[in-house]
Amino acid sequence: MNRILIHDADVVVTMNASREELPRASVLVENNVIVKVDTATQMDAWIAQDPSNRQPHRTITATGCVVTPGLVNCHHHLYQTLTRTIGTGQGKVLFDWLKMLYPVWAEMDAEAIHVSTQIGLAELLLSGATTVADHLYLFPNGTRLDDEIAAAQEMGVRFHPTRGSMSLGESKGGLPPDRVVEDEAAILKDSQRVIETFHDAGAYSMLRIGLAPCSPFSVTGDLMRESARLARTYQRVGLHTHLAETLDEDRFCLEKFGKRPLDYAESVEWMGEDVWFAHMVHPSESDIDRLAHHCSGVCHCATSNMILASGIAPVRRMVDRGVRVGLGVDGSASNDGNHMLGEARQAMLLQRVGWPGFESRADRFSAREALELATLGGARVLQRDDIGSLEVGKAADLVAFRVDDLGHAGAMGDPVAALMTCAPAQAWLSIINGRVVVDNGSLVGIDIGGLVKRHNRASMGMLERAGLI
């Protein structure tokens, strides 16, 4: 038995059904579950009624902090920390950027995947993320999804790795070079192996597998269809892919399939509550209605879409029409950072900017709506009813951000909104599944300096072998 009391926070943001925000409040965690959320005064009185069964083993005073549910990152490519700024600094768009980087990523080995996973997760944990979905779709030089799973387990994150894939090389009309694609029978065989080896469908699961053929321009329709059928033979195995990210993709799908991206996805059985799409920058009005009708999820990646000039996803319209929407930092080479709270802020700001047919409006998206996308929204996209809010019986995933520091001076009128409107803060405290992972602003038990050195050696080696340096 282990009880941790997060005590006397300035505000506890519950994200419960009433969206309560409790001033001067506390959260009591027992093992990996939340057992009580209340004002600090009421919590003290409740504990005093039965101290032998309620007394915390550790009390963390959170005065000066806003406590929120752990942030949920629904789309990432952790390996891309190895190639930050390559292409983005020069201003390349998606297809050109991918063609530039595929030969570099072809040089990855197991060490590169392991250390890049840990670097990306370290940044995410320090930015408030507690649950991370990752999309790994290249497996060169004998690498496997197992390599990043092992790395994530060492970091203590709640992890949703997806077994990605590419099978349609340039010689068959796809975008990636033939050297980085796999045989489809081998992909499906390994997908089954990964599910049966690692997937945990139970409540409070720390590891759930998804299947994730990369995109319409890198796999065949057969692989999309067979991956969906395989996933649906298991419980809570999700389906994930990039979709409707750019106008180039629109043109590709029309030319190759005679269908727009979402029509194509539906034709290969990729619709339903077990499906979530990354980006969805260019849906039609009917696409939005179908996404809502089929309960398919969308992961909005604001910064990546801006860096690669993909466009502005109509998040306001999707949310208003009932589409499940969460947030993703996306690949560290199409973002160059891994800051989940910063991504929520970016999503809020981007929705306020005008685009064709929509005037700029400061009230189009609020700070609290952005925070909801980053917590409860992400939980819903990943089909998790055990995370995303601070309520009795939910998993003990929570984050505390300091608001009594320099960057929040003068923001006491609304410290919750300050998390979005002020410069993005680092997590002061992070608890995942009842375990303290970030303490006093530092990762527990992680040698960041040594990790960075290993990571940079792996990165430089890949760039050298690919001939970029």
pLDDT, tens digit, 9 for 90 and up, residues 406-437: 999 999 999 999 999 999 999 999 999 999 99
**Same domain, residue pair 61 and 77:** no
**Same domain, residue pair 231 and 347:** yes
Q: Write down the pLDDT at residue 469.
A: 84
Residue 355 has pLDDT above 80, yes or no: no
The 8-class DSSP code of residue 63 comes to T
Q: Write down the pLDDT at residue 131.
A: 99
Q: Write down the pLDDT at residue 175.
A: 87
The domain of 416 spans 3-69+387-442
pLDDT, tens digit, 9 for 90 and up, residues 275-334: 999 999 999 999 999 999 999 999 999 999 999 999 999 999 999 999 999 999 998 888
For residue 304, the domain's CATH number is: 3.20.20.140
Q: Write down the pLDDT at residue 84.
A: 95
Does any domain span residue 10? yes
**Same domain, residue pair 365 and 433:** no
pLDDT, tens digit, 9 for 90 and up, residues 108-164: 999 999 999 999 999 999 999 999 999 999 999 999 999 999 999 999 999 999 999
Residue 354 has pLDDT above 80, yes or no: no
Of 364, 381, 398, which residue constitutes the final position of a domain? 381
DSSP one-letter string for 219-277 = S-HHHHHHHHHHHTTSSS-EEEEEES--HHHHHHHHHHHSS-HHHHHHHTT--STTEEE
Nearest to 347 by CA among 331, 330, 322, 323: 330
Q: Write down the pLDDT at residue 56.
A: 98
Q: Write down the pLDDT at residue 443.
A: 98
For the beta carbon of residue 355, count every other beta carbon within 10 angstroms: 13
**Same domain, residue pair 130 and 218:** yes
**Same domain, residue pair 31 and 134:** no
pLDDT, tens digit, 9 for 90 and up, residues 166-201: 999 999 988 899 999 999 999 999 999 999 999 999
Domain count, the chain: 2
Does any domain span residue 455? no
Please check whether residue 43 is in contact with residue 5, taking contact to mean a CB–CB distance below 8 angstroms.
yes
Q: Write down the pLDDT at residue 92.
A: 87
Does any domain span residue 453? no
For residue 39, the domain's CATH number is: 2.30.40.10
Please state, in angstroms and rounded to a whole number, the distance separating the CA atoms of residues 441 and 419.
Answer: 16
**Same domain, residue pair 53 and 75:** no
